[in-house]
Chains A and B, each alone.
Chain A
Amino acid sequence: AQSVTQPDIHITVSEGASLELRCNYSYGATPYLFWYVQSPGQGLQLLLKYFSGDTLVQGIKGFEAEFKRSQSSFNLRKPSVHWSDAAEYFCAVGAFSGGSYIPTFGRGTSLIVHP
């Protein structure tokens, strides 16, 4: 069965600093990988996804992620963090089942942004 590990429960950065959130996955086939963001009191919103092609994918809100098969990683990055980026970030790996990609989510990383 697939699984996702997000090693960092909390990450604190200063506004304007760069950001990298770590994600490691376990999946027997070609992974379908996602990053979602959850703002307080809201549902999850897709930031970006990867299935094939260029291993560096661009997403919304200035985020990007790089797929590294050799490391089973899909880390999320942003060059300059804004205070509005403070949220919970979830990495997920999708397994195709019943006609849809069913994501298994990591436990999430809470991003705290200091002014």
Chain B
Amino acid sequence: DAGVIQSPRHEVTEMGQEVTLRCKPISGHDYLFWYRQTMMRGLELLIYFNNNVPIDDSGMPEDRFSAKMPNASFSTLKIQPSEPRDSAVYFCASSLAYGEGTDTQYFGPGTRLTVL
């Protein structure tokens, strides 16, 4: 398996623009997680899905952020409108279902977002 795939790897945009980050989890994994990493706040969990259903979005910073998982092999994280303080590295991770090794998360390489 190719592992968790994220695109784009780098994104530079201007304040006010819409940004869409994409993630393809490992085939067969039931859980998908979105994280944000910054120097100031470290690694933060934004939202996670189980079988394409959002379970906990309490980490989503505000209404400008939204995430979807239309099927088992694809998820998006959208920021609209983007702001300079959204600049960070965004990671996607996936894991197996409970009882099958749900404890280990596999991370993608991340998307480095810069909002000017």
Task: Give the B-binding residues of A (Cβ under 8 A).
Answer: 32, 34, 41-46, 49, 51, 90, 94, 97-108
Contact A51 B103 (CB under 8 A): yes
Number of B positions contacting A (CB below 8 A): 22
CA of A20 to CA of B56, assembled, Å: 34
A99 to chain B: closest residue by CB: B98
**Complex-state Cα separation, A46 to B107, whole angstroms:** 9
B45 and A102 contacting across the interface, CB-CB below 8 Å: yes
Complex-state Cα separation, A99 to B105, whole angstroms: 14
* Contact, CB under 8 Å: A43 / B104: no
Contacts of B34 in A (CB 8 A): none
4 smallest A-B Cβ distances: which pairs?
Answer: A43-B107, A98-B55, A105-B43, A44-B107
Residue on A nearest B42 in the bound complex, by CB: A107
Docked pose: A17 CA to B26 CA in angstroms: 37
Q: Any chain A CB within 8 A of the CB of B13?
A: no
Chain B residues 67-116 with CB under 8 Å of chain A are 91, 93, 95, 97-98, 102-105, 107-110
Q: Which residue of A is nearest B91, CB measured?
A: A43
Does B110 lie within 8 Å of A43, measured CB to CB?
yes
> 1/0 per residue B28-67: CB within 8 Å of A?
0001000000000011010010100001100000000000
Contact in complex: A46, B104 (CB < 8 Å):
yes
Minimal beta-carbon separation of B7 from chain A (angstroms): 14
Which residues of B have CB within 8 Å of A98?
48, 50, 55-56
Q: Smallest Cβ distance from A5 to chain B, in angstroms?
A: 12
> Inside 8 A of A41's CB, which chain B residues have their CB?
109-110
* B103→A45 contact, CB < 8 A: no
Task: Kindly provide the distance from the CB of A24 to the nearest chain B CB, expressed in whole angstroms.
Answer: 15
Residues in A with CB closer than 8 Å to B43 are 44, 90, 105, 108
| Cβ contacts A to B, 25 pairs, < 8 Å | A32-B103, A41-B110, A42-B109, A42-B110, A43-B91, A43-B93, A43-B108, A43-B109, A46-B104, A46-B105, A51-B103, A90-B43, A97-B56, A98-B50, A98-B56, A99-B50, A99-B55, A99-B97, A99-B102, A100-B50, A100-B95, A101-B103, A103-B105, A105-B42, A106-B42
**A100 touches which of B4, B31, B42 (Cβ 8 Å):** B31
